[in-house]
């Protein structure tokens, strides 16, 4: 028993020495601003406008990709999408916020493809209803980044998303499925 205790102390001391010898990079951060066009190909709500446009602000931290490897980022987005009525139904809007993860598929190139997924909280509001309804949005997308300068990156992408909104006193919620084409800049 005493041997195991001494071995445990020795290994712990070695771990502390090893951890103190490592050098850590400052974690890179990115700010993004994007705009886009959205098409809902499935909408369970009565005011089922199919077309919308919006914008998004994003703050990201690099999680991996240090030591000249492909980078991954986690971000906190805040987005707004407006669906304007083309007939007599009311406009509706969605405010979104949550988490996004993005994986770059190349390193040190002018054009870098990426894949990403998101888990967002949605707040849907219509012009004719007081209040709003909360739901979730799950997204999966991809795109390409163009890096013309070390100070900024341009990007465009396509994303599929599934949103579900639970309704009180209902057997099942309502859903919206859509695709969004977006483009933006990261600094």
Residue 53, pLDDT > 70, answer yes
- What's the CATH code of the domain at 115? 2.40.160.20
Residue 151, pLDDT > 80, answer yes
CA distances to 60, 71, 101, 126, 160 from 186, rounded to whole Å, are 10, 15, 15, 31, 21
- Decide if 20 is inside a domain: no
* Residue 177: per-residue pLDDT: 95
**CA dist., res. 42 & res. 144, Å (int):** 27
**CA dist., res. 135 & res. 98, Å (int):** 12
For residues 31 and 91, the model is more confident at 31
- Decide if 72 is inside a domain: yes
Which pLDDT band, with edges at 50, 70 and 90, does 13 fall under? low
- Decide if 2 is inside a domain: no
Which pLDDT band, with edges at 50, 70 and 90, does 127 fall under? confident
Q: For 147-173, where are the E strands, in sequence order?
A: 153-165
Average pLDDT over the chain, rounded to whole? 88
* Residue 10: per-residue pLDDT: 64
Average pLDDT of the residues in 130-142:
94
Which pLDDT band, with edges at 50, 70 and 90, does 24 fall under? low
Per-residue pLDDT tens digits for 71-103: 999 999 999 999 987 777 788 899 999 999 999
The owner of tokens 């859903």 is 175
- Decide if 19 is inside a domain: no
pTM for this entry: 0.82
- Decide if 17 is inside a domain: no
Q: Which of 11-25, 26-40, 114-128 has the lowest mean pLDDT?
A: 11-25
Q: Which structural domain, as residue segments, surrounds residue 50? A: 25-186
* Residue 49: per-residue pLDDT: 78
Q: DSSP assignment, residue 26? A: P
Most confident region among 66-70, 89-93, 157-161 by mean pLDDT: 157-161
φ, ψ (nearest 5 deg) of residue 147: -115, 90
Q: Computed from CA positions of residues 35, 124, 114, 180, in that sequence, does the dihedral angle turn out positive or negative?
A: negative
DSSP string computed for 167-187 = -TT-SS-EEEEEEEEEEEEE-
Residue 8, pLDDT > 70, answer no
Average pLDDT of the residues in 4-20:
60
Q: Computed from CA positions of residues 24, 30, 38, 148, in that sequence, does the dihedral angle turn out positive or negative?
A: negative
- Decide if 125 is inside a domain: yes
Answer whether 99's CB lies under 8 Å from 117's CB: no
How many independent structural domains does the chain possess? 1
- Decide if 10 is inside a domain: no
- Return the H-helix or E-strand segment holding 58: strand 51-64
- Decide if 36 is inside a domain: yes
Average pLDDT of the residues in 27-38:
95
Answer whether 48's CB lies under 8 Å from 87's CB: no
**CA dist., res. 66 & res. 72, Å (int):** 10
């Amino acid at each position: 028993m005493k041997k195991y205790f001494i071995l445990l102390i020795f290994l712990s001391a070695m771990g502390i020495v090893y951890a103190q010898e490592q050098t850590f990079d400052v974690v890179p951060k990115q700010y993004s601003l994007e705009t886009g066009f959205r098409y809902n190909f499935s909408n369970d709500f009565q005011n089922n406008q199919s077309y919308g446009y919006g914008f998004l602000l994003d703050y990201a931290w690099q999680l991996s990709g240090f030591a000249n490897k492909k980078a991954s980022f986690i971000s906190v987005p805040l987005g707004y999408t407006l669906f304007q009525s083309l007939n007599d139904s009311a406009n509706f809007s969605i405010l979104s916020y949550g988490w996004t993860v993005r994986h770059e598929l190349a390193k040190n190139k002018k054009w870098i493809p990426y894949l990403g997924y998101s888990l967002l909280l949605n707040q849907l509001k219509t012009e004719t209803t007081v209040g709003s309804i909360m739901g979730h949005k799950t997204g999966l997308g991809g795109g390409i980044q163009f890096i013309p300068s070390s100070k900024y990156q341009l990007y465009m992408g396509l994303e599929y998303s599934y949103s579900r909104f639970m309704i009180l006193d209902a057997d099942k919620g309502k859903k919206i499925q859509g695709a969004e084409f977006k483009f933006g800049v990261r600094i």
